[in-house]
Structure 1
Amino acid sequence: GVGYAAYPDNLIEKFVEQSWEKGVDVFRIFDSLNWMENVAPCIEMVRNRTKGLAEAALCYTGDIMDPDRTKYTLDYYVRLAKDLENAGAHILAIKDMSGLLKPYAAKELIGALKDAVNIPIHLHTHDTSSLQPATYLMAIEAGVDVVDCALGALSGLTSQPNFNAVVEMMRFHERENPYDIKSLNQFSDYWETVREYYFPFESGLKASAADVFQHEIPGGQYSNLKPQAIALGLGDKFEEIKDMYASVNQMFGDIVKVTPSSKVVGDMAQFMVANNLTPEDVYAKGQNISFPESVQQFFMGELGQPEGGFPADLQRIILKDKKPSLERAGKSIPPIDFDKELAAFKEQFGEDLGLTDFLSYKFYPKVFEEGLQFWREYGDVSVVPTPIFLYGMKMGEDTTIEIAKGKTLLIRLLSIGPVDEHGKRTVFFKLNGQTRNVEVLDRSIKVEHKENKKIDKGNGKQIGAPLQGMLSKLLVKADEPVKKNQPLFVIEAMKMETVITAPFEGAVKHVELPSGTLVNTNDLVLELN
């Protein structure tokens, strides 16, 4: 639930309660593998702990019109929809995260679901291929109740279909809604200007891409995958990563790909490209490969059970000596002691924090710690105008920043001094008419970079980094005995953790790098004997 892992049931329950109290009234509930064992308890929590609506989702993948794809058929989705309604869902959602639902498939699917269930149907898709407005038209003709759109300037590609265009498409149709298209266009014009500020953070996709029907990467993941590939040193291999994504999906048994299952497929694809591995290599050499942590957790059953189960041979290779679980993870995770853990949390991070902060920490510990550290150092930077926050001020430029109601700062940038021997510059500015200065580290100045020692690929005793990232944890020390498959160290990069294990029993001869070191592929970390 919520994050990229399994959590105790009472933590999910507390999250639902707090979300309701803070204003959430529709809870979209889904499982990344369409496993009812994970979905049903959450529907029950929403019904019992809130007065909100439980919108339970089936995640769409495959192509119900393709006779060769027999795993996710129309009958499969109808059966799943009935299960969701029987579990207590108020609304049925269809999460088509990769934009795979084609127009005629939508007509068949919505028609069948309208006959099968007696609750409203809400369709969500991503317009990566640009086909989805046609899908919406056919879904509307078949009786869908709600469709998700995005304002024109924020639509298309990995986002949702164009709201403005859908309004025009439905003009004079019997199901037309009386939206003011002029008003929508004005909103779109505003957000088009805002979007320009965030251009560097976009997915890199400049035109619609019909190859999504081959690789099946979800829209939300696509926008993250390329920056992640760049961070791993694989920016020039993005096309290869997309192809490998499709191959990994087939290796995993053609699974539903929605967060977090989609992340597992992406982690494995990037890991294989980074290490020049083919699917055949994984089957032949897998017993001696340390796979990403998310992949191991997936095959352990921590995210749930995929339709048709796990591929048994690959599961044995990934897990090695570990025994997978067939039970819902929330059943076996000890409940949170909120009084005790909240008190410890406040002692560690500050008495000014509350329950919602604690919940954020439990779901995303690293993100929370980094965000809190930034907040403590810089305060509420949301009051800073977007272009200044992202790109800085020009010399002589004035700006106003309202830091509280009735309290406004007038700032003018005067000058920026030269770089000193520590890489810092003195910045002079006026604050409400008074001249001030501050020392700022200039991160654009290149510093001397020491290359780490590389492994000798012919020496199996040397253990290196399998990909670019940070050596976040060293789990052993020199002269320490180790067993085969014992964890040695952890490499972390862009939400992906890879635990490197010992390929044989022995002892640690030498540790080359300390934790916290930025490493490249094949940098020597330690040596065994």
Structure 2
Amino acid sequence: MLKVECGMDIFRVFDCLNYLPNLIVGMEAAGKAGGIVEAAICYSGDVSNPKRTKYNLNYYLELTNELIKAGAHVLSIKDMAGLLKPQAAIILVKAIRDKHPEIPIHVHTHDTSGAGIASMLACAEAGADIVDVAVDSMSGLTSQPSMGALVASLQGTSLDTQLSLEAISQYSAYWEQTRNQYAPFECTVTMKTGNADVYENEIPGGQYTNLHFQAHSLGLSEQFEDIKIAYAKANDLLGDLIKVTPSSKVVGDLAQFMVQNKLNEKDVVDRAEELSFPKSVVEFFQGHIGQPHGGFPEPFRSKILRDLPRISERPGASLPPFDFKKLEEDLKKLYENVTFKDVVSASLYFDVTKEYLSFREQYGLVEHLDTASFFIGPKIGEEYIISIEEGKIFNIFALAVTDEINENGERTVFFEINGGLRTVLVRDNTAIKDIEVRPKAIKGNEKQIGAPMPGMVVEIRVKQGDEVSKGTPLVILSAMKMETVVQSPVAGIVETVHITPSMKLQAEDLIISLR
């Protein structure tokens, strides 16, 4: 309801596993709020390949029938990894159009392989009403196919869009300049060209760059090709999943876990009962995100879960109602000017919202800064004019930054505001080391438990003197959104806890000693 009031009209409702009970809950909520319900089927496999039988044409047609029966106003085909080949596009879209001639069909894809334009033209020819593209300067690779290329390809045909190429070029030029303002967020180490190996590894476009950043944070940048190969193997181990957020994260976490720990598929299965798998993998097998098509792979699932609880129904069905009022009260104890939008944001992304509110509390009205000043910072010798409100304007002139760093890792920045000299201490995160050198766990000694990966300590679940069994969760570590539950490899008593919450660790740092 809040999103409708804020101006959103169309709601694309999808589930990472195409799990119907999850989809229907979202569709009903969007419909009751007065929104247009665009129900999505997430595409995986290859309907043009008779050897790929799990996600065949009949699977998609049956799912389409159920979504239309549940009240979809628009049907979306969400091809998050760019796997929909032109021939498959013709088969799938034509079959849906023939069976449901009235439903608008909207196709979303990514151009990872470079075949995106061909696939979208095939969708249009087969009866799709809408295909997603991106303005030329923002298109290609893991983005969407080029708008200009699609418009030009359809000129003079029965599907002519009637859009002006000249206008599209001007539009693209604007966004090319705007993109420069966000240069700090551009990833300079990921793919430079289209890559058809996506048909083998099936990495979604939205995950590709995130996966590379995660690999970099884990010290695996040079092994990214190995991670892509492991991604396909991890997907097989998990039962060949449809991969969208968050199921794609499950596959990516397992792939990096395998490369980090030098494990092949046989190692993972044979040692499943002793390994500390990423939290996302464990929760997937518990049923936290729903039931995958074809069920969970056994006995792999039982080896990982052992005695952990399992969910066989819609995951949210057994949850108690969320207490928005209490969350609002808790936030207002910490921050000023908390709005209901902040409360809703915190209910979805608690840690991110807290970080945002803390930033807002500390730095104030940063929305008055221009984009380059906010993301890149002022250049020495340049003047910046900032308008807070009518009649209140600041002329800021950046003067100098000291070379010396104090004991807190801060440099002194000199500047003028409306002619008055000011100084401020600014922490230089690139010039200090946040990770200390810590003792390592002795390899082969099961009573010394080391960190399975670099990361930050999120939660410590035991204390000195606690008795633990083999498989007892001890610590949760996090690195770039990948959480890992470190389990006890043996039974024993906690002798020493060597870590504290929020501590940053390297791989094999000693975290727990047992006796």
Q: Shorter chain as normaliser: what TM range?
A: over 0.9
Q: How does 1:109-508 map to 2 (within 5 A)?
A: 109-117=92-100, 118-203=102-187, 204-350=190-336, 352-422=337-407, 423-447=409-433, 450-508=436-494
Aligned to 1:81: 64
Deviation at 1:316, TM superposition (A): 0.6
1:22 maps onto 2:13 in alignment = no
After superposition, the Cα gap between the structure-2 partners of 1:28 and 1:449, relative to the gap in structure 1 and judged at 3 Å, is closer
1:445-497: CA deviations, max 9, x gaps? 34596411111112111111111111222222222222332211111111111
24-33 vs 312-321, which deviates more?
312-321
1:222-243: CA deviations, max 9, x gaps? 0211011111121111111111
Deviation at 1:319, TM superposition (A): 0.8
After superposition, the Cα gap between the structure-2 partners of 1:282 and 1:200, relative to the gap in structure 1 and judged at 3 Å, is same
1:82–1:116: 8 Å Cα contact kept in structure 2?
no
Cα distance in 1 between the residues matched to 2:405 and 2:441: 37
1:519 maps onto 2:505 in alignment = yes
Deviation at 1:501, TM superposition (A): 1.5
1:259-311: CA deviations, max 9, x gaps? 11001101111111111111111111111111111111111111111111010
1:241–1:269: 8 Å Cα contact kept in structure 2?
yes
Over the matched positions of the two proteins, sequence identity in percent amounts to 44
1:491-510: CA deviations, max 9, x gaps? 11111111111122210112
Gaps of 5+ in 2: none
After superposition, the Cα gap between the structure-2 partners of 1:491 and 1:52, relative to the gap in structure 1 and judged at 3 Å, is same
Aligned to 2:40: 57
Secondary structure of the 2:426 match is strand
Aligned-residue CA RMSD (Å): 1.6
142-151 vs 406-415, which deviates more?
406-415
Which has the bigger relative contact order, CA under 8 A and spacing at least 6?
1
Aligned amino acid, residue 166 of structure 1: L
After superposition, the Cα gap between the structure-2 partners of 1:25 and 1:345, relative to the gap in structure 1 and judged at 3 Å, is same
Aligned amino acid, residue 486 of structure 2: I
Deviation at 1:391, TM superposition (A): 2.8
1:352-398: CA deviations, max 9, x gaps? 21222111111111111111111111123343233333333222111
1:82-133: CA deviations, max 9, x gaps? 1100010000000000000001110111100101223100000000011010
2:464–2:495: 8 Å Cα contact kept in structure 1?
yes
State which of 19, 34, 47 in structure 1 corresponds to 2:31.
47
Gaps of 5+ in 1: 1-16
Secondary structure of the 2:273 match is helix
1:425-454: CA deviations, max 9, x gaps? 222211122222212223333459641111
Cα distance in 2 between the residues matched to 1:69 and 1:447: 50
2:74–2:105: 8 Å Cα contact kept in structure 1?
yes
Cα distance in 2 between the residues matched to 1:92 and 1:327: 25
Secondary structure of the 1:521 match is coil
1:105 maps onto 2:91 in alignment = no
1:231–1:494: 8 Å Cα contact kept in structure 2?
yes
1:202–1:223: 8 Å Cα contact kept in structure 2?
no
Aligned to 1:34: 18
State which of 470, 493, 496 in structure 2 corresponds to 1:510.
496
Cα distance in 1 between the residues matched to 2:34 and 2:433: 57
